[in-house]
Amino acid sequence: MPRLYESRKRILVTGGAGFLGSHLIDRLIGQGHEVICVDNFFTGTKRNVEHHHANPRFEVIRHDVCFPLKVEVDEIYNLACPASPPHYQHNPVYTIKTSFLGAMNMLGLAKRLKCRIFQASTSEVYGDPSIHPQVESYWGNVNPIGTRSCYDEGKRSAETLFFDYHRQHGVDIKVARIFNTYGPRMHPRDGRVVSNFITQALAGEDLTIYGDGSQTRSFCYADDLVEGFLRLMASDTAVTGPINLGNPGEFTMLELAEQVLRLTGSSSKITHKPLPADDPKQRQPDITQARVKLGWEPKVDLSEGLKSTIAYFRNLA
């Protein structure tokens, strides 16, 4: 008897109750797929996915990816890991375990099921880069024993596992290196610059800039990034990555602060504090591979994305 929905897949999303995981689940559910959301709620929140709870094609499993998981699925998106400095530095040993053991357990599952698996890697693998913008062939400039290393090196070791499972066991892998991303459902206390500035501006507090504000970042809106995830996952088997996904538009921290103040209408001032250890001075993706191999590039400009993000944070108050 033929299946009713030939194109429907059963898809596992680890870290599915997090900021990016929940946006990905929205898209997958919207495409008609069945989704299993796996999260231990260390940084994710049930609020991000509660609008799907009545949907028979959606399921939540509370589980820590540091331990094996036995499910039957057609695809795996591995997004599980604390991703902001305050969260991943809160328990650094757990952070690196989540990156490495989580990758190993999900790769083992993909190997058993013979299914495609996506890894949410990060621009942090480039460390404090000595080339600008960053291309995928660049090996990075990372401090292996610094306070950020639990995340940087955790993600680098996860990439190693993915490519070794691909070469040794033929696992069908897709690896994306995610650059700074923002949008609704960001954790208000995740310590990232966009959420910091917005929450401070809405509360009438001074906006905190670390250093002189000349350091730069590139900000990609969540909807654009998820589109990149889906295109990479649907690409030809030969396209394994790693592929940079991010917005090449570059802004200084001072420029971002001024935009947030303008869009919130806040009268907050800007204050400066010392730059944290190993904080990158520049971060900008070269997205040539994404443009050529995926036909992808971001569409939402910073001002438009900030308006939606600010509206979300206003509703949290």
Q: Would you call the peptide bond into 184 cis, given omega within 30 degrees of 0 as the criterion? A: no
Query: Which CATH number do you get for residue 41?
Result: 3.40.50.720
Domain count for the chain: 1
3-class DSSP state of 273: strand
**Domain presence at residue 5:** no
What predicted TM-score, i.e. pTM, was given to this entire model?
A: 0.92
User: For the chain, which residues score pLDDT lower than 50?
Assistant: 1-4
Choosing from 77, 126, 151, 182, the catalytic residue is 151
Residue 1: its pLDDT value, please? 32
pLDDT at 5: 52
Each residue of 29-68: pLDDT tens digit?
999 999 999 999 988 899 999 999 999 999 999 999 999 9
| pLDDT per residue as tens digits for the range 114-164 | 999 999 999 999 998 899 899 999 999 999 998 888 889 999 999 999 999
Domain assignment present for 71? yes
Looking at the domain assignment, is residue 279 inside a domain?
no
Instruction: State the residue range of the domain holding 96.
Output: 10-185+221-247+285-299
37 within a domain of the structure (yes/no): yes
Say if residue 221 is exposed, middle or buried (CB neighbours under 10 Å; 0-12, 13-18, 19+). buried
Domain-located, residue 227? yes
The answer to whether residue 252 sits within a structural domain is no
For residue 106, being part of any structural domain is answered with yes
pLDDT on residue 96: 94
Strands (E), 154-274: 173-178, 181-182, 207-210, 216-218, 220-221, 243-245, 250-252, 270-273
Asked whether residue 240 is domain-assigned, the answer is: yes
Active-site residue flag, 151: yes
The confidence score (pLDDT) of residue 212 equals 85
